[in-house]
Amino acid sequence: MKEIKFSIPNISKKDVNLVSKIIKSGWLTHGKYTLLFEKEIKKFTKAKFAVSVSSCTAGLHISCLASGFKKGDEVIVPAQTHTATAHAVEYTGATPIFADVEYPSGNISLNEIKKKLTKRTRGVILVHMAGHPCEMEKITRFCKKRKIIVLEDCAHALGTYLKGVHAGNFGISGSFSFYPTKQITTGEGGIVITNDKKFYKKIKKLKAFGIDKDIKDRKKQGDYDVKSLGFNYRMTDFQAALGYRQIVNYRKNLKLRRLLAKRYIKNFSKTDKITHMPYSNNSSFFVFQIFCKNRDKILKNLKKNKIGVSVHYANPLPKMSYYRKKYKLNIKNFRNSEKYGKFNISLPVYPKLKKQEVDKICEEIIKLA
């Protein structure tokens, strides 16, 4: 049987040729494609500012620093997410406070946030799990009244909307991932969007050593100052070129992803043993997630049949040794997160995936559900 891969980056020959051209030019960073990529991301998300970075983790880190999180502060994060979300808080010296998620959305609710509030709560990081939007309006309204900073982890959310507003525009910033399995890729890489000019200037300095001027803004060679501590979180120009080529074609990609999601839903309507989120035009469908009690048995069968799938994520963060030991956490306090981790399977959704392949994936899953 032909292998069905979990993910195939949507990279064309034209993309490869452009990247090759930039590499051969010798101008590999601080180039025009970094600016073009940022411009196209702003256009797509309708954000005022965009800063390319080396990864989504880097974007979250400098967003936490620009927000002023420090030792003694508490920042609420989902218990069920990639470890990068909590790590970004840890890097600042602040304490991540884990909130249980809703099942099966995988997102934290306003009610869960309220349960975790203390006098030390300084911020909240919201993750749009699998591309499904959090209840942003309620949460941002609540947090604004209490001067709690809202950051968005948009690693899964390129193409995620709520009432016509793109994810990342609700909080003070949104950090996106361009890892190879994501909707578009730059190999490794990310971008931060914001509508706050002061915040934009902060993260721009933080991502490049704290230097106060871009190369293009320097009147004399080497004429710059370092006014704060910063990092080398820059994206190369050939990475940005790859991202630029993909974002200009992403609307077509997103349309195909949504058609594949509808195909999955149609197939799974034949059984009541599989749970999934309902279809929504608001979702980017980074993956199509299902939940079933025979998860491990199904995973084994899919592997046997050369069908690539994934799990996002098997172990909630309070179960990870680092956080469990440091903060003396009990997984029993995060029942939905544990349930989510135990039963979820992430199915492939990418433009090169054929309808017949979706049907085959569903057939193999339904047999054992």
Question: From the CB of residue 311, how many other CB atoms can be counted at a distance below 10 Å?
Answer: 17
Per-residue pLDDT reduced to its tens digit, 300-340: 999 999 999 999 999 999 999 999 999 999 999 999 999 99
Distances (CA, A) of 187 to 24, 55, 181: 18, 10, 9
Q: What is the token pair recorded at 85? A: 């979300």
- Answer yes or no: are the C-beta atoms of 249 and 61 closer than 8 Å: no
Q: What is the pLDDT of residues 80-138, one digit of tens each?
A: 999 999 999 999 999 999 999 999 999 999 999 999 999 999 999 999 999 999 999 99
Question: Would the CA dihedral through 341, 354, 8, 3 be positive or negative?
Answer: positive
- Nearest residue to 161 via CA among 282, 255, 285, 277: 282
Q: How far apart are CA 257 and CA 180, in angstroms?
A: 16
Give the pLDDT confidence of 153-197 residue by residue, as tens digits.
999 999 999 999 999 999 999 999 999 999 999 999 999 999 999
Cβ-count burial of 33 within 10 angstroms (0-12 exposed, 13-18 middle, 19+ buried)? buried
Single out the residue of 121, 139, 132, 112 nearest to residue 286, CA to CA. 132
Looking at the predicted structure, is the pLDDT value of residue 27 above 90? no
Distance CA 75, CA 98 (A): 9
Set out the domains of the chain in order of their start, with CATH numbers: 13-247 (3.40.640.10), 250-368 (3.90.1150.10)
Tell me the pLDDT of the chain averaged across its residues. 96
Give tens-digit pLDDT for 229-283: 999 999 999 999 999 999 999 999 999 999 999 999 999 999 999 999 999 999 9
pTM: 0.96
Nearest to residue 166, comparing CAs of 188, 189, 194? 194
Give yes or no for residue 1 having a pLDDT over 70. Answer: no
Stretch 351-361: mean pLDDT, rounded? 96
Question: 342 is written with which tokens?
Answer: 């135990």
Burial class (CB in 10 A: 0-12, 13-18, 19+), 220: exposed
Q: What's the pLDDT score for residue 220? A: 75
* CB distance 285 to 182 below 8 Å: no
Rounded distance between C-alpha atoms, residue 181 and residue 313, angstroms: 15
Contacts of 40 (CB under 8 A, 6+ apart): 244, 247, 248
pLDDT band at 228 (very low <50, low <70, confident <90, very high): confident
- Answer whether the bond into residue 244 is a cis peptide, omega within 30°: no
In this predicted model, what pLDDT tens digit does every residue of 193-219 receive, in sequence order?
Answer: 999 999 999 999 999 998 877 777 776
d(CA 138, CA 114): 12
